[in-house]
A and B are shown apart, each in its own frame.
Chain A
């Protein structure tokens, strides 16, 4: 989000302000409508119907959210209705410009919301423990894709799946990213076979904002948010500038280009085209282990979205295509040739071809401002192949999703049917708001996974199809007032594999004072494990894969791998305190989460270094997470963020309770950001992030060759990233940065790298960066501006 520095003090009477001005009468009514993004940012909302209550006399807001109506003395109420949401009414009692903020179609006038500049914030009014990362924050790091976008965010950490492919995986509350539901425009995405590589396939430059919330999310989006939810807002009609180009290059030889452009087609249609190219042809082997440090890649991603707005219908149509190819492994490889296995050449190749599409349609009932209906549809086909030495993986996924959401606002004061009962409208606006959403959804997944190894002793040669059809229904009730917020939801689903189940969720917010907020939440979540894909990094080793060894627990007959559905419960609390100290703003945030699994797919690396065991949880699996965060503006335009996180994650591995491996219990985080004074849109920006990553447990390696036995725990280390950005004006900025400034790397990340087909080969035990200090640079060129008038 291009920062929109609107400082609005919204009191109950929105336009009883500017009393300094004379009372001259306009012959028209004009103003702007904004959309509430979060407490720090709003954006102009085009396509809002503005009309006099009880008439058809009205207009639609333009791209800047601006509207102008002839003033009519006979009508005292203006209705603001935005397709897909309920509408709201304002009384016209003044001739000033009307500037309102809509949130889910509702005029935010019961809060005394003060919008201040900022690009990272905790939400004070959302009962969920959410915070928003905007473009300003994302640009603090070069963040080439979604997996790399969380560098300046202490809630989410990135880890590597293996030392060969360089794939980054996210973790939240100490649990892997597969338990975080990822949405794009509120539609679930990055599911199934995309669980690992899907994050790399969302270019950072396309991201307008990310809403990260910890704990179970809304039942509207299904039951899959087990530890958190990440909702992406990609560049699209309404938030995209006319044209944007981002060029990036780094010391390792990776080149990227990102672009999008946005245009209006006719009166009602608007479209955005997005493109991404990534290419790396330079071979690096800094640690001299004979393996490429970064894969040679060749990626193309395209996206196109069309939005349509009319008085009754708001529609979005979009399609996304991903082609990704990455080759890594032995340095001596020639891409076109097959590796010479007899000479110990090891080749890793990953290929993705994914096509997906979605539709969102919102319909507003013409005669009832309190109702709305929305339909979400999406579908995808994904072809994912992977080659690790002489192990070959082929995955195919076809999925479809439909969700119909009906929303009804509950009128609290049921007077006699008097259409012009102004008292009713006013009270509903001022006191509290209650509404419910209900709907039905259908998820279809057909996932085919096959794994073939030419190693004679490899046990898991499997070709299985997992087909799951899940119809579901849900209801969610929201109560919101200045002091208290409540969202409670319940959904019932029936899986063709796992049968019927109920998913409850609860979120509570209590604003103790204007600056102090307490939140509590609880809920359950579930997901179907994707055995091979979500552990694909373990294929980059000589480990044998064993499913349910020693007849461990009962296996599910309907799941081709005999795996049960993963079920978790999550309880949490968050505390937010905003303060002003020495005339500078700051905030303190603390949260605690307890997650426990009723069932989980256990990946057991601790029985022997020769094998990995997969089985259903038999015992305890839990995570306790505590995070403390302090944000403060130390000096003018110089902000500091301090964070500390404690993670206590345990699982039962073959009857023994052990700490989750390759996860640091303690993590500290310091971010310093300084901006020079903005002189005619010219500015310097400096950003530096230092992280302290505590010691991590390393899985069992005692039965390795003596020189390949690792110590039980890793050393702690520091990771430092820094970036300088020069803003040359509204159009051009250039950035230069460095990752891993302290040049800390893991010694010998690949065990037995000289013999990749031998029994000790292992590249999946990664706890620190493989590649050392790396410089990068790039530029951003933008034409046109969405937010400004």
Chain B
């Protein structure tokens, strides 16, 4: 039990020290339309530098918490576009979009 508490406090202190780096907590629009999209979006953002990726189907807004020294916002938009999901800054390639599961064919913005 004691060991666990020690372990836990070590983890927390590691996380705390990480706080000295610049952490950005933001929300961006990511187009998508179903639960499979959510899986895909959140899984694509499961990369080094991103702490939290939580996409909301109704608002299509994705909360992203990331370390600016490890990943750029540009890169995040690129990851999403590569996965097939449009953002305000980057659009997915046509063939990537076409390859999505049929239920994931969200309405694309011009």
Contact = CB atoms under 8 A, between A and B. Distances in A.
Interface string B19-36: 100010100010101111
B103 interface: yes
Contacts of A637: 46
Nearest to A692: B1
Interface stretch (A17-25, A173-181, A469-477): A17-25
Interface in B58-110: 58-60, 65, 101-103, 107, 109
Given A583-B65, A635-B11, A20 B109 contact: yes
A169 to B, nearest CB: 27
A10 B58 CA distance: 7
A159 to B, nearest CB: 22
A341 interface: no
A8 B38 CA distance: 10
Contact of B46 (A17, A636, A670, A788): A636
Contact of B52 (A7, A9, A22, A583): A583
B59 A17 contact: yes
Contacts of B58: 8-11, 14, 17-18, 99
Contacts of B60: 17-18, 20
A116 interface: yes
Contacts of B109: 20-22
Contacts of A117: 42
A318 interface: no
A447 B34 CA distance: 52
B52 A678 contact: no
Given A678-B43, A788-B35, A789-B101, A6 B57 contact: yes
Contacts of A634: 8, 11
A678 B51 contact: no
A5 interface: yes
Given A17-B59, A21-B107, A640 B8 contact: yes
Contacts of B34: 789
A5 B38 contact: yes
A670 B2 CA distance: 12
Contacts of A584: 51-52
Nearest to A787: B35
Contacts of A114: 56
Contacts of A14: 58
Interface string A570-613: 00000000000011100000000000000000000000000000
A6 B52 CA distance: 16
Nearest to B34: A789
A789 B39 CA distance: 13
Interface in A384-419: none
A37 interface: no
B4 interface: yes
Contacts of B15: 582
A114 B101 CA distance: 25
Contacts of A635: 11
Contact of A5 (B23, B33, B35): B35
A54 to B, nearest CB: 28
A642 interface: yes
B108 to A, nearest CB: 10
Given A789-B34, A789-B101, A9 B59 contact: yes
A7 B32 CA distance: 12
Nearest to A678: B43
A358 to B, nearest CB: 32
B6 interface: no
A20 B54 contact: no
Nearest to B62: A7
A6 B38 contact: yes
Nearest to A17: B58
A7 B103 contact: no
A4 interface: yes
Interface string A68-106: 000000000000000000000000000001010000000
Given A18-B58, A640-B8, A788 B52 contact: no
B54 A7 contact: yes
A290 interface: no
Contact of B4 (A5, A10, A670): A670
A20 B57 contact: no
Nearest to B25: A583
Interface string A622-666: 000000000000111100101000000000000000000000000
Given A583-B52, A635-B11, A678-B46, A4 B29 contact: no
Contacts of B35: 4-6, 787-788
Q: Which of B12, B39, B43, B109 has the most CB of A within 10 A?
A: B39
28 contacts: A4-B35, A5-B38, A7-B38, A8-B56, A8-B57, A8-B58, A9-B56, A9-B57, A9-B59, A11-B58, A14-B58, A18-B58, A18-B59, A20-B29, A21-B107, A97-B33, A99-B57, A99-B58, A582-B12, A583-B23, A583-B52, A584-B51, A584-B52, A636-B46, A668-B1, A677-B43, A677-B46, A789-B101
Given A8-B58, A9-B59, 14 more contacts: A5-B35, A5-B42, A7-B54, A9-B58, A17-B58, A17-B59, A20-B109, A21-B107, A21-B109, A99-B57, A99-B58, A116-B54, A668-B1, A678-B46
* Shortest 5 CB-CB contacts between residues of A and residues of B: A789-B103, A6-B35, A17-B58, A9-B58, A582-B15
Interface of B: 1, 4, 8, 11-12, 15-16, 19, 23, 25, 29, 31, 33-36, 38-39, 42-43, 46, 51-52, 54-60, 65, 101-103, 107, 109
Interface of A: 4-11, 14, 17-18, 20-22, 97, 99, 114, 116-117, 582-584, 634-637, 640, 642, 668, 670, 677-678, 692, 787-789
